[in-house]
Structure 1
């Protein structure tokens, strides 16, 4: 997969060279900047980038166009377009190198899920780069660019990327000769100030905060999933409001026994229950019957333990992710929570027809929960939300659970 990505990135580099080939000086200085100043030279990705640039220039561009200056200005007509792609090319080189390093050294800090996420995001970056270059495809193709032909011709450069012999550098004598052939037209030339001042940046993908941010995104996703299953259980039990409120109260109370009072996770669970009840259930079926019992209670009760495990795990993980630094244990928590939610899904599956008949729809409700869990990692929003909840928490509890409290013999 990474070899294919290397080929795709190389095709975009080649296309940029064809776009700039109306002015050899611009093309060579951009090529030199990409090869020499983004990463150290002794690098498998940079070595292949050099081979690619040399190949495209020697085979396709030099024989057709050796004009150093276009109209005496020394700047390609496509310079403004290529300038907008500079960050994309820098990202392409650095992220590809990170992928290669992780796979070559078998870095165990990046599991399959993280790598797949990184590859998916990198593919999108390459797609965005291709889209920018394709806006001028009439120019590149008129200059001789043929995507499929070039792709097949440069594949051998990347085929050996993970072979042992692929780790060897280009022999010094050969490389020096290739350097002379490639950059002789600009030997002694003064760098174009605009090209030399192009910035370098460190891409997000597989960067310092990548693993932690991906974990945060997964926590948000699991928070939404947790909310949906709680909502599904509430719809399942809504034939009897007392049973539904008792289920929710026990869920909130039992988790709260092991969590500090101002837990951001427990607050969100409470807000989910409050929202679902007053938005969807109370308007349709708000009749509270003392001593009532839902016919579906036997399906919902076995999920208590699983819900508690997920809430408690989230409560441990979220504060760690909100702090600076890495989170080495996060992946273990995620696996455990996913397993618990899978068990909840299995236990509620038998009542799925009932909950949907009572109005439950994942597609309708899901968007309401995303912002709630996303704000977990927004410190300013959390400060406001926490302060607000301190004021309204008692009202929420009273709105929800006062009928249970007023019973002569309330549920245990």
Structure 2
């Protein structure tokens, strides 16, 4: 079998690159390998509206059968790539078939990090709709949810559980939730939202063991310090890694992800591209390879690669400021840029038309490096643009302060000042 473009992965990045190729006028054959048996779907709703029962799979499918026909896409369902031969331009599939390609796009995402307790009945990771279904059933049964790992997905699962009236506990070995993602003031604020909503948050706490509750349909999570927590379902969310193990003998350059240039091309392989969570792109401004495992980057890099495949003589780089968002406890949380532990943190607490606003800005050498905001969606695009324009932190603070009826600015290195 031969295809002009082969896309490995039915992820949002994989599907968006196919759609963008057609928008760019690309007329060649496109084949998608997707390990899911059904139509590809988006991931963000799984931990929110799907988990709560407010949406069904058809509400967030990335493609319909009619789309496959109109876009002339060959979707191979239930098929994964197990190897590639770049010299022969071949992909070896899980069902034994070999596909010839002219251009290859690797969009196979990331895999959850395995934990010792993953095999216990009632414990699940949270990356697919099948895994979400188990948690959804337990929530419908009003069974307690325990989340191991205080990252964004785990925090969203706990938030949804509480919104459905189900007891929820988050166990995190770091001092706060989201500890490695954003600064301490913002972490503390988000953790406060969880506590106020009735989530039991156990930080500085490790899991010693997870086991079935003998004689009962439940699970016992044993923690450091001797505490035990009962659950109807346990979500293991201790992180993810780029899905690159199957490429180890391919010669593809890998270092915590597939190494690409600023155009998305895999280094040393001009006919192969990588997008989404599996890739690390060269960042022209920072002069390093970077990754940012979030939905916006996946969709934006898909558009760039589609353009570069369709118009190889007019290639464009990707140099956008990182951005992601999350909904937790009815609050819309947005983050732009990259936070570093060495950044100075400035918190802004304000009020506009009777509505409370909160943001944290981060700077290094006087320039904004990162910004995080709660329920301030109309101002976040300005912050993302300000980051791209290398604006000063003072200008960014003043912008948010001036858009409040009343604001208090708290600098981590000084006393609060009005």
Normalising by the smaller structure, the TM-score range is under 0.3
> Please, what TM-score do these two structures have when normalized by structure 1?
0.22
Report the structure number with the largest CA radius of gyration: 1
TM-score for the superposition, normalised by structure 2: 0.22
